Structure 1
Amino acid sequence: MPVRERRPRLLPGRRFPSYAYLPGRFPHPVRHPLGHSYDPEAASPVCETCSDAEAFRWGMDLFNHGYYWEAHEAWEPLWRAADRGSADRALLKGLILTAAAGVKRREGKAIAAGRHGRRAAALLRDAAHGHSSLEGMLGISLEALAVQAEAPVSSKPEAPVRFNEAVVFDFYLGADVL
């Protein structure tokens, strides 16, 4: 599997969280006082527009480096802000579910990973039929991404390299935006 050092950073000025969250193995990032993003005073982030390029790229950066739960959190406000029924909303939900599949793969839960991956692939294919303002930033076609999302889990991920990360997908996002 590819490791973090071989993957480009999309936002090199932003620091990654101190760990990639896995349920039951680490403190919940926002709910637990020891979580990497815990702030009891913080309000939920609200996105004004789903074309927020920095938030979208941050999600891709997190995803590319094995921070799947964190990528989901970066994309969720964008998904919530996207128009219902739009290609952007389908694409974002597809990415969120692909990230969820990454978490399940890291946990060794192949059945759950497959379920999330199939749902993600269906949404990504739906998004391909519309016009998404975000698609061009992915660096991969939506069909190719759908195929990757629904690929069966062949084995457990390699041992984490650093910061408890394990990259479980053979592709990365944003290659064309570097």
Structure 2
Amino acid sequence: MGRPRLLPDRSFPRYAYLPGKGPHPVRDPGGHSYRVQPVLVIASLDSEEFEWGQDLFNHGYYWEAHEAWEGIWQIANRGSPLRAFLKGLILLCATGVKIREGKRTPAMRHARRAGALLRDLITAPHDHFSSALGISPGLLADLAEATAEAMPASPMTTQGQPEPVFDFVLGDA
């Protein structure tokens, strides 16, 4: 079963970056994002860049999803629920990278940190987070921690191939 796309007209990077397993996307001249001009982002869950992060995450491009969401996180108001939410998603991306690397302890650490941030959002009226993801932040935290705890096998068929490690899909595509 294929995973849905939120932005089907936008092409995925030519590889999914894992640290030490290929050219750094931004710093290396062979990187998929070397000298690519950053896109203009807005601090909104309705932005194309937020959806792009979801597409990347859902399809196993965890480092790249982190980069997409970090741009929004950087301009979100400090101390805002949106900024905490984005930080939680960025930590989920780090969890995905560590799972792909086979590093259980760091994967669990990132998953727990993400879970703590996402669960803090449960007590406030932030239904727009659930709507944007198609899943509540609390359930997302539970699923991410369970995935890291179980350390799913991540068959690396070809270096650089994206491999989704989470059983859930973000977004309402």
CA gap 1:48/1:165 in 2 versus in 1, 3 angstroms: closer
Specify the code of the residue in structure 2 equivalent to 1:158. Answer: P
3-state DSSP class of the match of 2:55?
A: helix
Specify the code of the residue in structure 2 equivalent to 1:90. Answer: A
**Could you list the runs of 5+ residues in structure 1 that have no partner in the other structure?**
none
C-alpha distance in structure 2 between counterparts of 1:141 and 1:20, whole Å? 27
C-alpha distance in structure 2 between counterparts of 1:12 and 1:101, whole Å? 25
Kept after mapping to 2: 8 A contact 1:50/1:81: no
Cα offset, 1:77, TM superposition: 1.2
Q: TM-score, normalised by structure 2?
A: 0.90
Alignment of 1:98-137 (within 5 A): 98-132=92-126, 133-137=128-132
Matched, 1:30 2:20: no
RMSD: 2.0
Deviations 1:6-50 (A, max 9, x none): 10011000000000000001100000000000007x4x5553433
Comparing 100-109 with 149-158, greater Cα deviation is found at: 149-158
For 1:78, the equivalent position in structure 2 comes to 72
Alignment of 1:1-178 (within 5 A): 6-39=2-35, 42=37, 45=39, 47-132=41-126, 133-151=128-146, 152-160=149-157, 164-174=161-171, 176=172, 178=173
C-alpha distance in structure 1 between counterparts of 2:10 and 2:72, whole Å? 19
3-state DSSP class of the match of 1:124?
A: helix
Deviations 1:124-148 (A, max 9, x none): 1112223444431101111110001
C-alpha distance in structure 1 between counterparts of 2:131 and 2:3, whole Å? 19
State the number of aligned residues.
170
**Could you list the runs of 5+ residues in structure 2 that have no partner in the other structure?**
none
Kept after mapping to 1: 8 A contact 2:21/2:159: no
